[in-house]
Structure 1
Amino acid sequence: MSEDTLILVLAIDRGAGPEPLTRHRTKAAVPFGGKYRVIDFTLANCLHSGLRQVLVLTQYKSHSLHKHLRDGWSIFNPELGEFITPVPPQMRQTQEWYAGPFDAIRQNRYLIERNRARRVLVVDGGSVYRMDYAELVRAHDETGARVTMAVRAVRGLGSSTQVGVTLDERDRVAGILPPREEKRERDVESAAEDEEHFEAMGVYLFDKAFLMAELDRIECGSIPDRDLALDIVAPLAAEQSVFGYRFGQARGRVTPDGYWCDLSTLDAYYQANMQLLRAEPPLDLYQADWNILTYQGQYPPARTVPGAVTGNEGVFVNSMLAAGTVISGGGVNHSILYPRVQVGDGAIVEASILFDGVRVGEGAHLNRCIVEKDVVIPPREQIGFDARLDRERFTLSEDGIVVVSRGAWE
Structure 2
Amino acid sequence: MDNVISVILGGGRGTRLYPLTKERSKPAVPLAGKYRLIDIPISNCLNSELNKIYVLTQFNSASLHRHITRAYKFDNFSRGFIEILAATQTIESMNWYQGTADAVRQNLRFFNQPNIDFVLILSGDQLYRMDYEHIIKEHIQNGAEVTISTIPVERKESPNLGILKIDEQGRITGFFEKPKDETIIDSLSLGAGVFERRGVSARGRSLLASMGIYVFNLEVLTEILKETSKSDFGKDIIPEIIKTRRVFAYFFDGYWEDIGTIKSFYEANLNLASLTPSFNLYSEKVPIYTNPLFLPGSIINGCKITQSIISDGCRVDQAEISNSVIGIRSILGKNTLIQNSIIMGADYYETEANIRTNRFKKIPDTGIGNQCRIVGAIIDKNVHIGEQVTIENKQKIEYLDAENYMIRDSIVIIPKGSIVPSYTTI
Q: CA separation of 1:235/1:119 partners in 2, compared to 1, >3 Å: closer, same or farther?
A: same
Asked if structure 2 preserves the Cα contact closer than 8 Å seen for 1:176 and 1:230, the reply is no
Match of 1:372 in 2: 380
Match of 1:44 in 2: 43
Asked if structure 2 preserves the Cα contact closer than 8 Å seen for 1:163 and 1:182, the reply is no
Asked if structure 1 preserves the Cα contact closer than 8 Å seen for 2:384 and 2:420, the reply is no
Match of 2:407 in 1: 396
Give 1:340 deviation, angstroms: 0.6
AA aligned to 1:245 is Y
Asked if structure 1 preserves the Cα contact closer than 8 Å seen for 2:189 and 2:207, the reply is no
Q: CA separation of 1:330/1:43 partners in 2, compared to 1, >3 Å: closer, same or farther?
A: same
Q: CA separation of 1:184/1:336 partners in 2, compared to 1, >3 Å: closer, same or farther?
A: farther
Match of 1:132 in 2: 131
Asked if structure 1 preserves the Cα contact closer than 8 Å seen for 2:190 and 2:207, the reply is no
Task: Report % sequence identity.
Answer: 28
In 1, the alpha carbon distance for the partners of 2:336 and 2:106 equals 51
2:274 corresponds to which of 266, 273, 278: 278
State the Cα deviation string for residues 336-388 of structure 1 (Å, max 9, x = none).
00111011011111111001226111111100110010101110010014446
In 2, the alpha carbon distance for the partners of 1:37 and 1:86 equals 16
In 2, the alpha carbon distance for the partners of 1:73 and 1:370 equals 28
AA aligned to 1:36 is Y
In 2, the alpha carbon distance for the partners of 1:184 and 1:380 equals 55
Match of 1:350 in 2: 339
State the Cα deviation string for residues 83-115 of structure 1 (Å, max 9, x = none).
001110232223221111111111112111235
Match of 1:94 in 2: 93
AA aligned to 1:396 is I
2:369 corresponds to which of 361, 366, 388: 361
1:205 corresponds to which of 215, 218, 240: 215
The SS at the match of 1:231 is helix
Asked if structure 2 preserves the Cα contact closer than 8 Å seen for 1:151 and 1:200, the reply is yes
In 2, the alpha carbon distance for the partners of 1:190 and 1:104 equals 32
AA aligned to 1:367 is V
Asked if structure 1 preserves the Cα contact closer than 8 Å seen for 2:274 and 2:323, the reply is no
In 2, the alpha carbon distance for the partners of 1:367 and 1:184 equals 42
Q: State the number of aligned residues.
A: 386
Asked if structure 2 preserves the Cα contact closer than 8 Å seen for 1:315 and 1:327, the reply is no
In 1, the alpha carbon distance for the partners of 2:284 and 2:188 equals 44
Give 1:189 deviation, angstroms: 8.9
The SS at the match of 1:8 is strand
In 2, the alpha carbon distance for the partners of 1:408 and 1:386 equals 21
In 2, the alpha carbon distance for the partners of 1:46 and 1:195 equals 28
In 1, the alpha carbon distance for the partners of 2:13 and 2:382 equals 22
1:235 corresponds to which of 230, 234, 240: 240
Give 1:12 deviation, angstroms: 3.1
Give 1:409 deviation, angstroms: 4.1
Supply the RMSD in Å over aligned alpha carbons.
2.2
Query: Quick check: 1:298 aligned with 2:305?
Result: no
- Unpaired stretches in structure 1, ≥5 consecutive residues: 249-257, 306-312
Give 1:40 deviation, angstroms: 0.7
Asked if structure 2 preserves the Cα contact closer than 8 Å seen for 1:146 and 1:242, the reply is yes
Query: Quick check: 1:336 aligned with 2:347?
Result: no
Asked if structure 2 preserves the Cα contact closer than 8 Å seen for 1:369 and 1:401, the reply is yes
- Unpaired stretches in structure 2, ≥5 consecutive residues: 192-202, 347-365, 422-426
In 1, the alpha carbon distance for the partners of 2:133 and 2:188 equals 37
Query: Quick check: 1:59 aligned with 2:78?
Result: no
Asked if structure 2 preserves the Cα contact closer than 8 Å seen for 1:30 and 1:38, the reply is yes
In 1, the alpha carbon distance for the partners of 2:221 and 2:402 equals 50
Query: Quick check: 1:264 aligned with 2:263?
Result: no
